[in-house]
């Protein structure tokens, strides 16, 4: 597959400028959804780690950059993380770095499978079957119904989940490595167009050895269930980086949406106050910022959300905050419609994962927005 980025054909300047200058494009993602294989396989599973009550604080800003902000686990021994080479060796501290670095997501899946089987018949009253996935509504061609999706995936739900991802020792080891890297004179890129401080995981050599297995073996089974309509069963690339907030550096992050179908944001530490994440609705929605949900960080735990969900970070109070952010991408979805400008992307060849697009015709995955 040829990785590709999109050009700024539709707007001037950088990708961010392009995305943000377009404000809120008219969207609705059109189409019908065919259930991905994992969804069928896990028929009847209801995975819901946690949902939150709606918060009441209004979002203070809309545009990203409008402010100067600038491990599988004991349960899954098949992923053997190898010691990174060269300058990455510092991460091999003995504890934390290895298969036991991830919490046993698979066990959680199994537990939820059992629970889900019990809850499934009541999850969506009146539906014909409990299998997750979306089925075309014969009465409304190209409009899909959320039949079989977990009960939490109801119209209007934010569909934001918290899940355990990394162990505390692994977070500590990763933080140490990040600081070694920060203090080194190695060339560094910016994590994204909004954050000025942080590290791209591929610069640390951790993309293939840490993030890819995490995405393929642990996140995708979850996202296929939770977000079948957003390409959750078709993830094929990512952009992973660590963002850092500290006094005198970035302190907050303006409200934005991500260049991702889905995002996982894992708190690594350190000790800090403030910095909570807040979430509005999908950026395309008319009242996307009406009732934001505020979410505190818990070290090692990840927040899973749709990339198109408006969100930002409140100002840091004291201390330093480091978070691992993984923008999860599905070329089958974005090749059709760029998630930033909501138009057919105009592609140029790129290195690595590029921006997650590919030139190949994607498998047939039409999507629609549920909320
Ligand atoms: O500050 C955070 O943890 C949020 C980062 C974020 O939303 C992003 O990088 O896309
Ligand atoms: Fe974000």
User: What's the complex ipTM?
Assistant: 0.99
- Say whether pLDDT at 46 is over 60: no
> Measured in angstroms, how far is the CA atom of residue 167 from the centroid of ligand 1?
20
Q: Does residue 201 surpass a pLDDT of 90?
A: yes
Question: Taking 70 as the threshold, does the pLDDT of residue 368 lie above it?
Answer: no
Give the CATH number of the domain where residue 345 resides: 2.60.120.620
Instruction: Tell whether 46 is covered by a domain.
Output: no
How close is the Cα of 127 to the center of ligand 2, in Å? 34
Going from the Cα of 265 to the center of ligand 1, the distance in angstroms, rounded, reads 7
Of all residues in the chain, the percent with pLDDT exceeding 90 is 42
Q: Round to whole Å and give the CA distance between 143 and 152.
A: 20
What is the spatial distance between Cα 145 and Cα 123, in angstroms, rounded to a whole number?
Answer: 14
Ligand 1 centroid to 27 CA: how many Å? 23
The minimum-distance atom of ligand 1 relative to the CA of 192 is 9
Q: Which ligand 1 atom is at minimum distance from the Cα of 195?
A: 9
Nearest CA to ligand 1 atom 2: 313
DSSP class of residue 12? Answer: S
Q: Is the pLDDT of residue 112 over 90?
A: no
CA distance 347 to 352: 14
Give residue 32's region: left, alpha or beta (phi > 0; psi -120 to 50): beta
Question: Is residue 133 a part of any domain in this protein?
Answer: no
Separation of alpha carbons 162 and 154, rounded Å: 18
The DSSP code sequence of 15-51 is HHHHHHHT-S------S--PPPHHHHHTTT-------
- Bond prior to 270 in cis (omega within 30° of 0): yes
What mean pLDDT comes out for the span 126-130? 27
Shortest-distance Cα residue to atom 3 of ligand 1: 323
Structural domain containing residue 209: 156-370
Check if the beta carbon of residue 73 is closer than 8 Å to that of residue 159.
Answer: no
- Spatial separation of the C-alpha atoms in residues 241 and 199, rounded to whole Å: 5
Pocket of ligand 1 (CB under 6 A): 192, 195, 243, 253, 258, 265, 277, 311, 313, 323, 325
Whether 202 maps to a domain, the answer reads: yes
Closest CA to 159 of 239, 48, 69: 48
Q: How many domains does the chain have?
A: 1
Q: Strand, helix or coil at 226?
A: helix
Q: What is the mean pLDDT of residues 225-235?
A: 95
What gap in Å lies between CA 148 and CA 129, rounded to an integer? 6
DSSP 250-304: ---EEEE--SSSEEEEEEEE-SEEE--EEEEEETTSTTTTSS-EEE---TTEEEE
Which of 59, 64, 194 to probe ligand 1 with, by most ligand atoms within 8 A of CB?
Answer: 194
If one counts every other C-beta atom within 10 angstroms of the C-beta of residue 81, the result is: 21
Asked whether residue 92 is assigned to any structural domain, the reply reads no
For residue 323, tell me if it sits in a domain: yes
List, in sequence order, every residue forming a beta bridge with 311; answer none if it has no partner. 256, 279
- 293 pLDDT exceeds 70? yes
Flag whether 29 is in a domain: no
49 in a domain, yes or no? no
Whether 48 maps to a domain, the answer reads no
Beta strands in 113-152 (DSSP E): 135-136, 144-145
Q: Are 305 and 263 in contact (CB under 8 A)?
A: yes
Residue 254 neighbours by CB distance under 10 Å = 21
Using one digit for the tens of pLDDT, what is the confidence trace for 60-108?
A: 222 222 222 223 223 222 222 222 222 222 232 222 233 334 444 444 4
CA of 325 from ligand 1 middle (Å) equals 6
Nearest CA owner, ligand 1 atom 9:
325
Tell which one of 64, 70, 253 to mutate to probe ligand 1, the residue whose CB is within 8 A of the most ligand atoms.
253
Q: How far apart are CA 276 and CA 314, in angstroms?
A: 5
């Amino acid at each position: 597959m040829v990785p590709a980025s999109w050009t700024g054909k539709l707007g001037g300047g950088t990708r961010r400028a392009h995305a943000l200058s377009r404000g809120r494009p008219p969207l609705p993602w059109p189409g019908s959804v065919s259930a991905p294989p994992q969804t069928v396989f896990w028929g009847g599973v209801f995975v819901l780690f946690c949902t939150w009550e709606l918060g009441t604080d209004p979002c203070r800003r809309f545009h990203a950059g409008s402010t100067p902000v600038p491990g599988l686990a004991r349960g899954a021994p098949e992923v053997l993380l190898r010691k990174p080479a060269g300058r990455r060796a510092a991460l091999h501290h003995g504890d934390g770095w290895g298969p036991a670095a991830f919490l046993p997501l698979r066990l959680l899946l199994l537990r939820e499978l059992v629970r889900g089987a019990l809850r499934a018949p009541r999850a969506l009253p009146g539906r014909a079957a409990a299998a997750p996935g979306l089925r075309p509504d014969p009465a409304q061609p190209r409009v899909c119904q959320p039949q079989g999706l977990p009960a939490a995936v109801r119209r209007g739900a934010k569909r934001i989940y918290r899940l355990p991802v990394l162990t505390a020792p692994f977070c500590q080891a990763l933080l140490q490595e990040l600081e070694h890297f920060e203090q080194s004179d190695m060339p560094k890129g910016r994590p994204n167009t909004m954050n000025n401080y942080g590290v791209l995981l591929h610069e640390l050599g951790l993309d293939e050895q840490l993030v890819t297995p995490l995405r393929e073996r642990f996140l995708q089974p979850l996202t296929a269930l939770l977000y079948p309509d957003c390409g959750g069963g078709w993830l094929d690339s990512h952009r992973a980086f660590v963002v850092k907030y500290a006094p005198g550096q970035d302190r907050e992050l303006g409200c934005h949406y991500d260049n991702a179908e889905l995002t996982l944001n894992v708190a690594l530490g350190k000790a800090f106050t403030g910095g909570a994440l807040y979430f509005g609705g999908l950026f395309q929605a008319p009242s996307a910022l009406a009732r934001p949900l505020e979410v505190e960080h818990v070290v090692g735990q990840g927040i899973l959300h749709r990339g198109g969900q408006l969100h930002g970070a409140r100002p840091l109070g004291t201390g330093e905050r480091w978070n691992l952010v993984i923008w999860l991408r599905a070329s089958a979805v974005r090749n059709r419609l760029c998630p930033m400008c909501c138009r057919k992307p105009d592609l140029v060849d790129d290195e690595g994962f590029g921006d997650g697009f590919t030139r190949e015709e994607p498998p047939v995955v039409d999507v629609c927005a549920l909320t």
